[in-house]
Structure 1
Amino acid sequence: MSFFLNRGRILRRVLGGVAIAAALVACGGGTSQYEEFNPSRIIVFGDENSLLNADGKRWAINNVSVDTTTSVETFACGSNPIWVQRVASNYGFVFEQCNPDDGNVQAFFRSNNGALVADLQAQIDAQIAAGGFRSNDLTTVMIGANDILELYKQFPTRTASDLKSEAAERGKTLATQVNRLADLGARVLLSNVPDMGLSPYALTEKSLNTDVDRAAFITDLVQAFNESLGSKIVIDGRYIGLVQSDVRVQVMEKSPSSFDLDNVKVAACLESAALPDCNTQTLVDGAANSNYLWADSWHLSTRAHYEIGALAISRAENNPF
C-alpha cells in the first residue's frame, strides 16, 4: 500500500513491498520522500468523464441558476466541478474551458468525448508532439467506460467468457499506455472504471432481459478490466497513484445515506436533457444538485465526481511522487 504526503509536510519513511488488492488502494513503491510534490501543470487524458466542452459544460450535472425576476439563466462552470477540476483546483490551477476569474491556466485536456482505450495512445502522442512531458507534470487518466459498453452490446452474439477476456485485454492495453506515461517522466493519477453494473443503464438491461443477470455481467466486465489494469501497471508509487473509483461507487451504492444520496438507481437528468446539456433546471422530480449517484444512464453525478476527486487529491498528496 502506498502512503502519500500531505502538502507542506515532511515524510521520512521507506515504503516496503506493495500488493494490489481489489479492496485496497494499491499503488506504492519502495522510496523515501523528503520534499512535497508540487506539479507545474496538469494534463488530462481519457474520455468524457474527464472533459469540459469549450463552453465549460461537462458530462455530468451543470449548475444553472435562474433569476426569479428576469428568468435569465446563468451557467456557473466552476460549480459542480468534475473530478479533474477538483484536482486542478487543489493546486490553484484552472482549465481554459472554465476560467471566469482569469486564473492560472495550468491544466489542459487531451481527453475526448467517446474515447476508447485504443484512443489513449493518440492522446499521448499529441502531447508529445506539443512539447512532451516534464518531471513535475501531473497527469490524470480515466478511460474504459466506453469500452465496457461497446463490449456489453456484443452479448449474446459473443459469449460472456470471450467478452470478459477482451475486457481484460483492454485493461492490459490501458496499463501499457499508463506505464508509458510514467516512462515519459509524468506522474500519473489513474482512475479505474467505476462499477457500471450499478448504473441505471445496467439495471434497465437487467429488467428487459431474462437470459442472465445483465447488471451482474456488466460488473463482471468492469472487474475483468480493472483487475487486468491493476496487475499490469508499474507498482511504484513514485510514478503512478491508483484511484479506485469502482470501490467508491460501490460503497456509495451500498450506503447512500453516508453520502447524502437520496437515489442511487435512477438518473437525475431528464431524458430530454442529454449530457452535456443537463443542468440543475432539467432534473427529474426529487433530484437536486448532488443527491443522486448517476447523472444519466451511466455517467456519474456531481456527488460521485466529488468523491472521486477527493480520492484523487488524497492520492496526489500522499504518493511519494
Structure 2
Amino acid sequence: MKFNGNAMRAAIGVIGAALTALALVSCGGGQAVEKFVPTRILAFGDESSFMDANGLKYSVNAKADGTIDCKANPIWVQGLAAAYGLVFPQCNPDAVAAPASQILATVDATSGNVKDQIDLFVTNGGSFGGKDLATVLAGARDILDQYALIKAGTTTEAQAIPILEQAGTALAAQVNRIGLAGGKVLIATVPDMGLTPFAVNAGATDAALLTRLTSRFNSKLRVGLINDGHMTGLLLIDEMVQNIVKNPGSGGFGAVDKA
C-alpha cells in the first residue's frame, strides 16, 4: 500500500478522533472537558508498533545520505507520539533528554503475546498512571495463522472462527487490564486482512475468507472492551482501510493493491 504525505495526516486525524474519547473526564452537562495530554506512550502489540534499537521498523526505512532516517515514514505510534511532542528512545535523533515512552511490542506477536508483554512490563517494575497512553495493535498474526491452517487443510473456517473470537476476547481483557490499572488505552482493530496486497494476490476466495476471519476477531475485541468513555479510545483501522480502498485518493494513497 503506497501513500503520500496526506495519508499520514489522515491517519493521525483518525487517531485524534479516537483520543477525544480519552478526554471525556467531565461529569457531563455544560462543564469544561479537560484535554488528555499523555506524558509517555507505551506501545504494545506486533511489528506494526515495533522499532529495534537502531530505529529500524517493519515498514519503509528511509535513508538520508546513506544512513537510516528513523523519523521519515514513521509508524503509527511514532506519529502519535510526535503529536504530543514525545519520542521513543529507539528513534531520538534530536537527543531529547530521557524519553519516557517505550516500545514494548514484539515481532509476530499474537493477541496472547500482548499479555506476555504487559506481564514483563509489570515484572520489571512498570505501572500505569493517569498520564500514560498505552497503544495496543495485535491480532493479524492470529488471523494469518488460522488462515494458513485452513489452507493446509488441517482445520476449517468453522473451527478457526471460535479460536479467533476467543483471541479477540482475550485481547480486550488485556486492554481492560491496563485501563483498570490506571492507564489510558488506545486500542486499534486489526486492518481488514482481506484487503491487503497479500490477500489480493491470493485471489478473491481467499481474500473473502481473510475478511471474514478479521471480522470475527474484531467483533469480539470490540464487544469485550469496557467502553465507559474514560479509559479506552477505539481506533477502527479495519473501517479506515475499507474506506481507503473504496476511495484511495481522498486519503492521499496512490495505490492500495501493492505492498
- Of the three residues 20, 23, 29, the one matched with 1:4 is 20
Is 1:119–2:119 an aligned residue pair? no
How many residues were matched structurally?
Answer: 239
Tell me which protein shows more helix as a share of its residues.
Answer: 2
Q: 1:109 to 1:35 in 2, by over 3 A?
A: same
Is the Cα contact below 8 Å between 1:127 and 1:133 reproduced in 2? Answer: no
1:115 positional shift? 0.7
- Of the three residues 86, 97, 100, the one matched with 2:90 is 97
1:123 positional shift? 0.7
Deviation per residue, 1:259-293 (Å, 9 max, x gap): 232221122xxxxxxxxxxxxxxxxxxxxxxxxxx
Task: Quote the Cα distance in structure 1 between the aligned partners of 2:56 and 2:107.
Answer: 12
Task: Quote the Cα distance in structure 2 between the aligned partners of 1:39 and 1:3.
Answer: 11
Task: Quote the Cα distance in structure 1 between the aligned partners of 2:138 and 2:185.
Answer: 13
1:39 positional shift? 1.6
- Of the three residues 222, 232, 237, the one matched with 2:224 is 232
SS of match in other structure, 1:122: helix
Q: Runs ≥4 in structure 1, deviation > 3 angstroms?
A: 10-13
Task: Quote the Cα distance in structure 1 between the aligned partners of 2:36 and 2:209.
Answer: 40
Is 1:256–2:255 an aligned residue pair? no
Equivalent residues in 2 for 1:18-37 (5 A)?
34-37=33-36
Deviation per residue, 1:81-136 (Å, 9 max, x gap): 11100111111111111000011512101110111111111111112122322222
Equivalent residues in 2 for 1:153-168 (5 A)?
153-155=148-150, 156-168=153-165
Is the Cα contact below 8 Å between 2:62 and 2:70 reproduced in 1? Answer: yes
Is 1:110–2:124 an aligned residue pair? no
What is the TM-score with the length of structure 2 in the denominator? 0.85
Is 1:196–2:193 an aligned residue pair? yes
Is the Cα contact below 8 Å between 1:5 and 1:36 reproduced in 2? Answer: no
1:33 positional shift? 6.0
Q: Which amino acid in 2 is paired with 1:166?
A: I
- Hey, what does 1:316 align to over in structure 2? none
Q: 1:239 to 1:113 in 2, by over 3 A?
A: same
**Gap runs ≥5 in structure 2:** 1-16
Task: Quote the Cα distance in structure 1 between the aligned partners of 2:47 and 2:82.
Answer: 19
What is the TM-score with the length of structure 1 in the denominator? 0.69
Q: Which amino acid in 2 is paired with 1:89?
A: A
1:42 positional shift? 1.1
- Of the three residues 199, 218, 222, the one matched with 2:214 is 222
- Hey, what does 2:28 align to over in structure 1? 14
Is the Cα contact below 8 Å between 2:22 and 2:232 reproduced in 1? Answer: no
Is 1:86–2:71 an aligned residue pair? no
Q: 1:184 to 1:3 in 2, by over 3 A?
A: closer
Task: Quote the Cα distance in structure 2 between the aligned partners of 1:250 and 1:174.
Answer: 22
Deviation per residue, 1:130-162 (Å, 9 max, x gap): 232222211000011111111100103211111
Further displaced range: 89-98 or 130-139: 130-139
Select the structure of larger CA radius of gyration: 1
